[in-house]
Structure 1
Amino acid sequence: MNALEVRDVAFAYGPRQALQAVDFSVAPGSFAALLGPNGAGKSTLIALLTRLYDLQQGDIRVLGSSLRQQPRQALAQLGVVFQQSTLDLDLSVEQNLRYHAALHGLARRAAQARIDEELARQQLAERRHEKLRALNGGHRRRVEIARALLHRPRLLLLDEASAGLDPASRLALNRHVRALCRADGLTVLWTTHLLDEVEQDDDLLILNRGRLVAQGPARRLGAGDADLAATFARLTAEVSP
C-alpha cells in the first residue's frame, strides 16, 4: 500500500486551471521532493491534500483511505507544516503544542509525554517555556514539525517549509527532516522551488503550470546537480499553458 496516491487530480480557480490531471504515488518510508517554480500549483495541491480545498476532480488516498470517502481516517494519518506559520507568537513553545494536542483529543498525560518526546527530538526541550517570538525562523519551523508529529502521523507534508530561512537554516531543516524520515520510517512529501533542497536519492516529482512533467528517482532525472538543474530548466521552459 502506498503512503500517498494522487489520481487524476485537477483543480481550477474559476477559469484558471491550477492543476491538470496530476497523478503520482509515494511509497511508505520515502522522502519525496515535489519541485516546481513559484506558481506551479504546489500549494494548491497541498491545500487539496489537507482538505482546505474540496476535490473537484480525481481522488487522493492516504494509506489507503480516500479523502472523498474516508476523510477522517485519511487526515488522521497526516502531519502538515504549511508555508505560512500558524503558531501563536505570544504563547510559549509548550503552550502551542498543548493547544494542538487538545485539538487532536489527546489526553493530558499522553499529550505531555508526546510533547516531551518531540521537544527532545527537535532539540528544543530547554526552550519549552520561551515565547515563539524569541525563537529564530529555523527553531520556529522545528516547533511546527514537533506539532505536526504529536499525533504520530505516518505521512508528513511540508509546503515550502524553508521559505524565509537563511541558507544555513534551510540546509539544517532539510537534513533534520530527512533524519526523522530515516529514524521513524516516516513518509515525507517536501515541496520546494529550490534545487539545492533535492538529493540524488529522492523520489522526485516536477510540477510546472499545473502539470506533472516528470517523476522518478532524482539520479535518473539528472546524473548530478548540474544535470538536474538543466533538466529542470528544460522541463519548466517547454511546457505550454
Structure 2
Amino acid sequence: MTDASSTAAALSVESVTHAFGPKKALDDVSLIAPAGSFTALVGQNGAGKTTLFSLITRLYDNRSGSIQVLGHDVRKQPAKALSQLGVVFQARTLDLELSVIQNLLYHAALHGIGRREAKTRAEAALGRVGLEARAKDKVRALSGGQMRRVEIARALLHGPSFLLLDEPTTGLDIGSRRTLLEEVRRLIKEDGIGVLWATHLTDEIAAADRVVVLHKGRVMANGAPQELCARAKTDDVGAAFMAIVGEDAAEPRKVPA
C-alpha cells in the first residue's frame, strides 16, 4: 500500500466508529486524504460515506477515535478545523429564486465576510468555476451541473484548503459529470486544494487518485487504483471494487491508512 504518512495530511481519520442505536454505520474507520490531491471515497449506497462526512463537518459528534483537518481536531478545535473545510453536500442547498451572486453573498455573510470583500471573493470564485457570466442569473435557470459548480464556488468563499464533496455528480448527465470532475481537478492542480470526493461510480476515478473503499461501514481497501487492481487481479477499477467488497467481511480488515 502507498505510505500516505509521508505526505502531508489534509484530512486524517483514525479509528472512528459511529452507531445509530444498535446499528453501526461506521466500524473502526481510518483513512488519510493527502493535501493537494484527489481522494475518492468509493462505496455503494449505505456504505457510510454520508455518515463520515457528517462527522467530519460536526453535524454528528464523533465520540470515538479522532478526526483532524490540517492538524486541527474537529472536537477540540472545531472553529479552526471547520474554517479549513469547504463542503458540497449531496442534497442541493441553493435558493432557486435568488441569483447566483445573491446566493454567494448570503453565504459569505454567514461567514462574517463584509459585503465589499464578499463581492470580490464571489466574483473570483465564479471565475474559478467558469460561471462569471451567469452571476446575475437566477439559480433556477441553471443546469444541474452549473448548480453544482455554483455550490463549489460557494464552498471556496472563505478560502478553505480542503473540499468535501458528497456524491456531487448525482443526477447529472455524462457531459456535466465530466465537466465537474475537470473543474475540481483543475482546482487541485492550480490552487493546491485537497479533495475528498465521495462516489459510488468507479469511472470517476483517475490513475493518479488515491482510493478508499468503504463497505458496510468498514474500510476494505486504501491506496492507488493500480494497487486495488493488483489485489483483485484485474485491470479494471470497477471490477476490482466489486471483487473487494464481495470478499468475506465477517472480520474487520485492518488496512494501513
- Tell me the TM-score normalized by structure 2: 0.91
1:33-62 deviations in whole A, cap 9, x for unaligned? 001111100010001111111112111000
How far did 1:176 drift? 1.1
Q: Which stretch shows the higher mean deviation, 1-10 or 141-150? A: 1-10
The equivalent residue for 2:141 is: 134
RMSD: 1.4
How far did 1:225 drift? 8.2
The equivalent residue for 1:58 is: 65
Contact residue 203 and residue 218 of structure 1 kept, 8 A: yes
Contact residue 43 and residue 159 of structure 1 kept, 8 A: yes
Secondary structure at the counterpart of residue 65 of structure 2: strand
- Tell me the TM-score normalized by structure 1: 0.97
Question: Which of 238, 241, 251 lines up with 1:229 in the alignment?
Answer: 238
| Structure 2: stretches of 5+ with no match in the other structure | 1-7, 251-257
The equivalent residue for 1:121 is: 128
Secondary structure at the counterpart of residue 237 of structure 2: helix
**Distance change (3 Å), C-alpha of 1:94 and 1:56:** same
Secondary structure at the counterpart of residue 39 of structure 2: strand
The equivalent residue for 1:79 is: 86
**Equivalent residue letter for 1:56:** R
Q: What are the within-5 Å matches in structure 2 for residues 33-72 of structure 1?
A: 33-72=40-79
Secondary structure at the counterpart of residue 236 of structure 2: helix
How many residues are treated as equivalent by the alignment? 241
| Structure 1: stretches of 5+ with no match in the other structure | none
Alignment partners' CA distance in 2, 1:164 and 1:105? 32
Q: Which stretch shows the higher mean deviation, 227-236 or 94-103? A: 227-236
- Residue 191 (1) aligns with residue 191 (2): no
How far did 1:130 drift? 1.0
Secondary structure at the counterpart of residue 91 of structure 1: coil
**Distance change (3 Å), C-alpha of 1:112 and 1:225:** farther
How far did 1:120 drift? 1.4
How far did 1:29 drift? 0.6
Alignment partners' CA distance in 2, 1:202 and 1:225? 18
Q: What are the within-5 Å matches in structure 2 for residues 1-241 of structure 1?
A: 1-222=8-229, 226-240=235-249
How far did 1:230 drift? 2.1
Secondary structure at the counterpart of residue 81 of structure 2: helix
1:72-109 deviations in whole A, cap 9, x for unaligned? 10000000000001111111100000000000111122
